[in-house]
Structure 1
């Protein structure tokens, strides 16, 4: 079996580096995507403490009784926010439904933003008061990291 080495990149090099550092970072991820299609990212903005808190909250969420989880399943949102129970989805052309359950969150759009009506609000999990603040923080940090990675990819592609 062939093993593939997935390159690890330090996002801090791009965020705080010189123009030359940024160009080298962009070339490094461009090569990685061409060679393997993947990278791993360090210094992405999520502390180990925040990741631990997130996992704790997610474990608590999925440990809630089914009746509670079902109360957060909103068909009118088409799975864009809240809970999706086991058996609701299936792979394309599959006859057997998936055995996964998941929770969907999205960008927080504030009142007055012109796109507010296009994005449903995230559902508030009343039973877990720390769930929403932690997932919001994680989402925002991942969004910031993603923005920087997309900028670096644009440099590589000379866009």
Structure 2
């Protein structure tokens, strides 16, 4: 896969570069999102120690027996732990696939904005996060995730400004709709094959799909059973990996918003490899949408190419989530 298909965008150049450098970045973003819907992003400012600490804390939770995790079980559409058999993501494409081979811990905004700087000491709980119940075995998980979502929200808005520039619009073209946005952070734990058992035919860690919202920011680990993407006309390919980069893709709402000028990035995560039976991976996936009642309408020509019917952001995303949900209990 060529760098022109999935380019690496250095956000430090967007922040500090001259007009010509910013224009070149915006042009590269426009071209890449039209071909595959994916970017690699460096210069993002997230210190690697933070996702590493999150993985350590989350892994200690995921490795617990199911009866220990069961009190934190998320009902369908809610937040907390989802065990094996909860979703079949490929069904959003109309294919009746087996359940995905993963467990998740998901976080969303609580009663007030979790991205605000905490007013209490850093070792206290962060009241702005859902779920309301967290495992005592890993008390560090909640404050770590609170730090992470603060950095993700700031990064997502910065990326939306870059995307607006790529369309030649005002920088707040999208961020005027993110004053109190919906977002979800999901920790995807992909157990080893000795935990899941041999995959069934057509079974993946995450089945083929496009994301549902505006923007996804992914901190991932490479592996044999890792991420694949589907660029236009090129078929399935292993996603490029850079340990210093975050993987960014747009979702259905953004594709609709741009009138299909940009493609919602189709992707999947391969099944756990039988020839690497100890491989387990974890991804930190930040799904960024927009203000819940935003009506997403396709931008007109010459930017947009297809005029999609308007949709309301939260209602659209929730309808797609309902398509892949199977059950809450393991």
TM > 0.5 between the two? yes
Instruction: Tell me the distance in 1 between the aligned counterparts of 2:146 and 2:107.
Output: 8
1:132 to 139, 142, 145: 142
Instruction: Tell me the distance in 1 between the aligned counterparts of 2:145 and 2:39.
Output: 24
RMSD: 2.3
1:98 to 97, 100, 106: 100
Gaps of 5+ in 2: 114-127, 170-330
Confirm whether residue 88 of structure 1 aligns to residue 86 of structure 2. Answer: yes
Instruction: Tell me the distance in 2 between the aligned counterparts of 1:56 and 1:67.
Output: 21
Change over 3 Å in CA distance of 1:100–1:153 after alignment to 2 = same
User: What SS is found at the alignment partner of 2:108?
Assistant: coil
Change over 3 Å in CA distance of 1:26–1:89 after alignment to 2 = same
Question: Retained in 1: the 8 A contact 2:14–2:22?
Answer: yes
Question: Retained in 2: the 8 A contact 1:29–1:39?
Answer: yes
Counterpart in the other structure of 1:55: 55
5 Å-filtered alignment, 1:10-159, equals: 10-75=10-75, 78-90=76-88, 91-92=90-91, 93-94=95-96, 96-110=98-112, 121-123=130-132, 124-159=134-169
Change over 3 Å in CA distance of 1:46–1:120 after alignment to 2 = closer
Structure 1 residue 27: deviation in Å? 1.8
Aligned residues: 148
Instruction: Tell me the distance in 2 between the aligned counterparts of 1:82 and 1:12.
Output: 34
Instruction: Tell me the distance in 2 between the aligned counterparts of 1:63 and 1:153.
Output: 39
Structure 1 residue 87: deviation in Å? 0.8
Question: Retained in 2: the 8 A contact 1:79–1:104?
Answer: no
Gaps of 5+ in 1: 112-118
Residues 135-158 of structure 1 deviation map (CA, whole Å, 9 limit, x = unaligned): 121122122111111111111112
Change over 3 Å in CA distance of 1:7–1:150 after alignment to 2 = same
Instruction: Tell me the distance in 2 between the aligned counterparts of 1:81 and 1:43.
Output: 30
Per residue, is there more helix in 1 or in 2?
1
Residues 5-51 of structure 1 deviation map (CA, whole Å, 9 limit, x = unaligned): 32111112223334444333222211222244321011212111112
TM-score (ref. length: structure 1):
0.79
Instruction: Tell me the distance in 2 between the aligned counterparts of 1:72 and 1:57.
Output: 16
Runs of 4+ displaced beyond 6 Å? none
User: What SS is found at the alignment partner of 1:105?
Assistant: strand
Instruction: Tell me the distance in 1 between the aligned counterparts of 2:110 and 2:65.
Output: 27
Residues 105-156 of structure 1 deviation map (CA, whole Å, 9 limit, x = unaligned): 1235528xxxxxxx97234232211101111211221221111111111111
TM-score (ref. length: structure 2):
0.41
